Chain A
Amino acid sequence: MSQLDNRQPPSLKAQVQSQIAGEQLSRDQLQHLMAMQNRINNKHAEKTAIKSHAGKYWATSIAASLLVLVAVVSLWTPITSRPSLPNDLTLNQSALHKQIAMEVVKNHIKLKPLDIQTQSITEIQQFFKQLDFSPISSQQLNKLPAPSALTTQQLLGGRYCSIKGVTAAQLRYQQSNHGLSTLYQVGYDAKLFGNMPVSERGEPAQDLFVQGLEVSMWVEKGLLMVLVANPK
């Protein structure tokens, strides 16, 4: 902890410590809690002594019964072919993508204030110093069909956010039809976000609809891109 210097004004830390330490239980409350502890401990101590002996008897009986039951079931249950299981991997990927989509749509709708207002991607990159990556100007945005296509001239600014607990950048764009689009960028981790199409391989974005909004997801230059916009 930092040492207080008497010549300096009181530090925030010292004031917070003082504020918190000022709250104390009353004498009655303390006595009540101490009495409660003793009461509960004594009660359980009595029960433990009684249960110990009875428990051993019942445990043995139950174990024997279960053994008999397992033996009976295994003798009588016909062998059936194992039912085909759904493709767990596909289900998990789909569920992951849906989770991400719901998370970003929820935030898109809230429309929280921007941390930085700028049309310059360079200023965006300089601002987001707390990220583990540098935000990029996505090459995929201006390839979108009108009116969804976006250019840097339509960039409004950005703010910090997170996707599945990982710190991310949120860039807001003004669409030509006066709607707003939100592009989330975060370092791509396949284990966390699932398999995603890679734009450099020419793979089309993963699209899905949540609450009337279109969510497009792809990987570009090692970053997961998630775009939320009005449907095309």
Chain B
Amino acid sequence: MSLFIKSNKAKPLSEPLLNSLFQYAMSLSNHRDNAYDLLQSALEKYLSRLQQPGTTIDNPQAFLQTLIRNQFIDQYRYQQRWPSETFEEFASYDISPLSLEQLAIDTDSLQRIWRQLSPQDRDILYHWAILGYSTDEACELLGMARGTFLSRIHRLRKQLNTKPIDKAPGTKEPSS
């Protein structure tokens, strides 16, 4: 996000963008009312910030996603829904080179498991599946050590109990 000197005219966010932000809030909280509160609160802060003289925000979506995420962490950390330890460790037995790109799962299984995933796991999946970030990009964005992220992916694989997608003849391996 960069700040430039400009007149402070706030353009209303569109309905598709509001829905996209709501989906991100849902990815974290997995609770409709909480997600709506997160979005509303973040939107108020965004509009307030925008009204400060000389402020403009080039990427409202990224800015608001950061606000939503930070609010979620602050609000739910005390409930231990977002560990506050400085480095996170998760049980994993093997860091396989198999990437998320190569995994398949049926709808019912994902829906069943989705609510059991931690907010951090859903955050990772959101950044990977919706925003299209690679592993390294997501690590840097979420401020997560690469080893931690890889451990989470491995744990997700075991939790999702996924199987590799059968490759058609001549299909190239996705780049890691």
Contact = CB atoms under 8 A, between A and B. Distances in A.
Contacts of B165: 8-9, 11
B40 A33 contact: yes
A88 interface: no
A163 interface: yes
A110 B10 contact: no
Contacts of B92: 115, 159-160
Contact of B13 (A10, A37, A164): A37
Contacts of B150: 130, 160
Given A24-B19, A110-B89, A12 B12 contact: no
Contacts of A106: 85-86
B141 interface: no
B: contact size bracket: 35 or more
A120 B87 CA distance: 26
Contacts of A44: 8, 10, 47, 51
A163 B44 contact: no
Interface string A91-120: 000000000000100110010110110000
Given A23-B23, A160-B150, A162-B148, A15 B44 contact: no
A30 interface: yes
A129 B151 CA distance: 13
Interface string B94-138: 110000110111110011001000000000011011101000000
Contact of B10 (A16, A33, A41): A41
A163 B22 CA distance: 34
Given A23-B23, A112-B89, A33 B39 contact: yes
A112 B151 CA distance: 13
A211 interface: no
B82 interface: no
Contacts of B57: none
Contacts of B146: 130, 167
A20 B89 contact: no
B36 A25 contact: yes
B87 A8 contact: no
Contacts of B143: 165
A169 B110 CA distance: 32
Contact of B8 (A48, A162, A164): A48
B12 A160 contact: no
B18 A25 contact: yes
B143 to A, nearest CB: 8
A19 B114 contact: yes
A19 to B, nearest CB: 6
Nearest to A25: B22
- Residue from the set B15, B90, B147 with the largest chain A CB neighbour count within 10 Å: B147
A177 interface: no
User: Which A-B residue pairs are the 9 nearest by beta carbons?
Assistant: A167-B147, A162-B145, A16-B129, A162-B87, A160-B147, A9-B104, A12-B103, A44-B51, A23-B26
Given A12-B105, A160-B150, 16 more contacts: A7-B168, A9-B166, A11-B165, A12-B104, A13-B100, A18-B107, A20-B129, A30-B15, A30-B19, A37-B47, A40-B47, A113-B91, A116-B93, A160-B148, A160-B151, A162-B87
